[in-house]
Amino acid sequence: MFLEVLRQRAPDGPRSYGFEYEFISRTPLTLDHMEEIYGFLPSCGFDPDEGSLVSPSGMYITFEPGGQIEYHSTPMFGWDKGTFRSALSEIKNTNAAILKALGIEYLSVGYIPDRGDAPLCLTSERYRNLHERLTRAGTRGREMMKGTASIHLHVVIRNVQEMSPLFRKLCELSVTEEFGMSRDRREIWDNTDPTRCGQTLCSQKNLGSAEALAKGLVCFALDAVDLREGVPFRKKGEITFDKFLYHMTTLFTDVRINCKGPTVEMRTLDSIPAAHFEEKWRKFISIVEEV
C-alpha cells in the first residue's frame, strides 16, 4: 500500500529538487512573539493556506516548536539557477522585514544551546504530544525541537524503481563532512527518541530494491512509538492506513521518504548562510544527477 501511494503520486517529467530552510531566533520566542509574526507575514505577501502561509511565488512558511521559521521552496529543476536565487532573495527579504518590524532576528545557524526549557511555540496536539514524548525518550529531544535549525534537501521520486538508489545515495551524502550534521547536532540527534530518528535505515545493506526499502521503512515506522498512545504503532488500539501515513510524518530519520512530493529527503545539513547554501545546492544536484 505504501508503494502504491508513491506510484500514484510520482510526477512525470524531468527530475526536480526542493529544499526546506530553517532559521532560529537569536533569543527565545514566546507564543506572544508568534502571534506578532503570524500577524505581520501577510504584509510580506504570505497569506494563510491550510495551516501554512504561502506567497504568490508558491513558497510556504511553517514554524518549528521553538519558533524556528521554515521556508519551503517550490519544486525546481537542477539547471534553474534563477528560481533558486529568487527563492533565496525572498527568504532574505522576509527575514529582514521581520527584524525591522518586530525586532526578531533569525539566524542561519545549526544550533543554539540552552533552549531545551524555552517555551513551546506550537500548541497543536501533535507538538504537545511530541514535546511530552521527548521529555521521557532520550536526553536531548527538547533541544532538538527548540534549539536546532537545518536545511532539508529533497529529490523527487519519478518512479519507485529509482527510490532505492536515490535513498542509498542520500545516505552516503548524509555522513560526509560536506552534508552531514555538525558535532553538536549529531550529539543531540543521537540522544533524542531512538524509535523515530537516527541513521538506522541507512545502516541496512539490503535496500537494493523498492520493495526491500519500503519494507524497511514500514517496519521502522511500525516499531516507532505513537505520539498519542505512547506505544509502538503496531500495538495501537486502532490502526488505519491513513493514520499510519500520518505517523510516518512524525519520524525524522537522517534520510526519509516524504510522501507529499513524493521525495527522498535528507535532513542532516545544518542551517548555513545563504551565501554558502548555493554552493552546497549546486554540489548536491551535481552528485544526485549521476544517480
Q: What is the mean pLDDT of each run of 10 residues along the chain (291 residues)?
A: 96 95 98 98 94 95 98 97 97 98 98 97 96 93 97 97 95 96 96 89 80 94 95 93 96 95 97 96 96 91
- Give the distance, in angstroms, between the CA of residue 70 and the centroid of all CA atoms in the same chain: 9
Report helix, strand or coil for 109: coil
CA distance 188 to 177: 17
Give the model's pLDDT for residue 214: 94
Give the model's pLDDT for residue 286: 97
Exposure pattern of 204-215 as b/e (b: 16+ CB <10 Å)?
eeebeebeebbe
C-alpha cell at 27: 533569543
Are the C-beta atoms of 90 and 46 separated by less than 8 Å?
Answer: no
Exposure pattern of 33-65 as b/e (b: 16+ CB <10 Å)?
bbebbeebbeebbbeeeeeebbbeeebbbebbb
Mean pLDDT, the chain, integer: 95
Place of cell 519507485: 160
At CB < 8 A and 24+ separation, what contacts does 235-243 make? 241/1
Place of cell 529533497: 154
Give the model's pLDDT for residue 81: 95
Place of cell 539566524: 107
Nearest Cα neighbor of 267 from 153, 186, 177 is: 153
- Give the distance, in angstroms, between the CA of residue 145 and the centroid of all CA atoms in the same chain: 12
Nearest Cα neighbor of 43 from 2, 93, 77 is: 93
Give the model's pLDDT for residue 203: 76
Give the model's pLDDT for residue 235: 95
Domains of the chain, start order: 2-288 (3.30.590.20)
CA distance 81 to 86: 9
Nearest Cα neighbor of 254 from 202, 205, 184 is: 202
Give the model's pLDDT for residue 162: 95
Give the model's pLDDT for residue 123: 93
pLDDT in tens, 27-48: 999 999 999 999 999 999 999 9
Instruction: Kindly state the DSSP code that residue 244 receives in the 8-state scheme.
Output: H
Report helix, strand or coil for 151: strand
